Structure 1
């Protein structure tokens, strides 16, 4: 997760502009889960949104993340008075010697599973999780602008077309491809895992909630907020390192790649000229659940 250690990365912006997860997603995981609810571990916990959401359901919740900046953000966003059973510590998902064998009931990862080293992760998951325990990983791909298919096309061009001045060359691979393909590349070994289920959603930019599958992630954002959300992408921070002299207009510069993207959209979609305008966006997503044999 080298992105989160870069000097260009803002942990506060990540916490402010990344989407949260709806009750329907958590309920899907909890309905799948069987047995005790003593300990839940949130891998790649980021700013702690998942740990806080699951805290009422478990005796203890532990969030881990290799980024010390993320752990600091999670701790500052999770007051002990409100969440006395939640703790955070810096650690990789693949190595958690502080957890006892078969001591964990549920392991989750929200928008983090594409970073893991699965050759090392699955043996560690088998070690720490009790028999019958639940694994639940989910992730979301790029958003679409509902009712604005042309805007979505331009977004995708900037996000994935080749060229040093665009974002496509700055994604970390294979992680980004794993997310774009809704975590299908993550295959729990059948020797240790059973009842494997996948729930996916692929949006349709022509009308809201009309995509294929089960939608979990949708939100209204002002266009200015949408710019800041895209600036939390890992590819953007790679682009920043390659273009240190190009600053966003909102910070007094002449514009960055995100300003250029929205300028191009506004040239063909007049509604996008006003940064205060709210637009509905949806994310394609994948949820993977499995049970420890």
Structure 2
């Protein structure tokens, strides 16, 4: 088996030489490479048609486990700027981005645009912060401002255009927050217990007053064991949780095992639906945008949990 990361770092060391030999076409758009499709959507909102956005990860891709392909290397070496989430969401790729930045590449972690008080610490993730920052709408507003600032520095001739797009998008995000609060208000607080495949919804829980329990840890690299499943099954029975949720970027086997464990205790628990956690939906659908994804998630959660006997 080839030494993937060793070869990858060797390639990285050659990036500057490759880049220096390439001549950018005169009329080519400013090329931005992104990791997750949440970030791609954000760059589209701010950059509009003045930039070309190239995403590495599509719908249903788990960024915790993602490994860059040889094709990704080409995308990265020809990029004018690279935006990634940070806080180790992208696993080992973060180390590569940091090395590229030291070599002169323009790489930006969205998490750098957030103050420390906005980041949730997690003892379950080697003492690092929870990387699922987009589930706080307030954090996403700050991320949009961060992207606008960086693009304006890189393309000062389009600064006013970026800032106008930010003003429009910020109004959309404010409206989104109001809509989410309205939907959440239909669910009594005693029913706001969200059980999912992995612990991706802590920011959501904090912002909308939900108790959130993930079967796996913050990173999907941590596997749930039999004891984890049995402990959570007991929690569901004790708290009379009516539904649990699959995630689009996480295999459903562990949630199905949890459902079976609950039912072995003579308690019915439904699969409440599939939530978008580490990626948006398919491009061209409402769920393929941050705004549409969040409305879908909140509606799915509230509808599944707001059951009456």
TM-score range, shorter chain: 0.3 to 0.5
| Bigger share in helix | 2
Structure with a larger share of its residues in strand: 1
TM-score (ref. length: structure 2): 0.31
